[in-house]
Amino acid sequence: MKTITLGAVVLLAACAGNRTAPRRPMPGRERCRQAFAASPWAGDLRDVPSTVIDKGVFRHVSYASCRAGEYEMNVYGDPEAPAGFEIGIHNELLKSDEAKRNCLELISRLLDNPADRALLASLNRDIDKKVRSGITFEVTPPTAEDAYGGWWISVYDEALLDRLRAGR
């Protein structure tokens, strides 16, 4: 039988108290990965190492990343109850309206709320940001400082991201 000290119990309780679910449940990492893998354009899906994001709303938040060709999906925070997720494109796909449409359709399939899907469909594909009930829907162009050269569609709970941010 294992025993833990009272200090460890207090630490575990404090950590558990910091896990706040998003205002509306977001799809978990596995659901995102499965939807990505099932997309006919996804090709060879593989997990990739996460780099440090040091700019923008996702800065210093842990995440899991996977890629299929020039498509990339990131899921931020707790893999079971994420604070946000996004899909983006890189390099030659930046010129492709079809690739952007693929990203929008994938995000739409992952959203359970019809009003969220409608808001997503209303976004300007060049650059846009809309907030509904504490959840942000954003299109980031490759020219943005925090885009790292990619075009992204992101859905996130900014307040939860702020609580999860390392080194705050």
Q: What would the pLDDT profile of 49-75 be if each residue is shown by its tens digit?
A: 888 888 899 999 999 999 999 999 999
Place of tokens 């449409």: 101
| pLDDT value of position 49 | 87
* Structural domain contains residue 114: yes
Is this model's pTM higher than 0.75 or not? yes
Q: Across residues 41-56, what is the average pLDDT?
A: 88
* Structural domain contains residue 13: no
Answer yes or no: are the C-beta atoms of 102 and 38 closer than 8 Å.
no
| pLDDT value of position 168 | 53
- Under the banding of pLDDT at 50, 70 and 90, the label for residue 167 is low
Report the largest interatomic distance among the alpha carbons of the chain, rounded to a whole angstrom.
60
Domain span holding position 103 = 21-164
* Structural domain contains residue 16: no
Answer yes or no: are the C-beta atoms of 142 and 155 closer than 8 Å.
no
Answer yes or no: are the C-beta atoms of 115 and 132 closer than 8 Å.
yes
Query: What is the tens place of the pLDDT at every residue in 107-135?
Result: 999 999 999 999 999 999 999 999 999 99
* Structural domain contains residue 152: yes
* Structural domain contains residue 52: yes
* Structural domain contains residue 108: yes
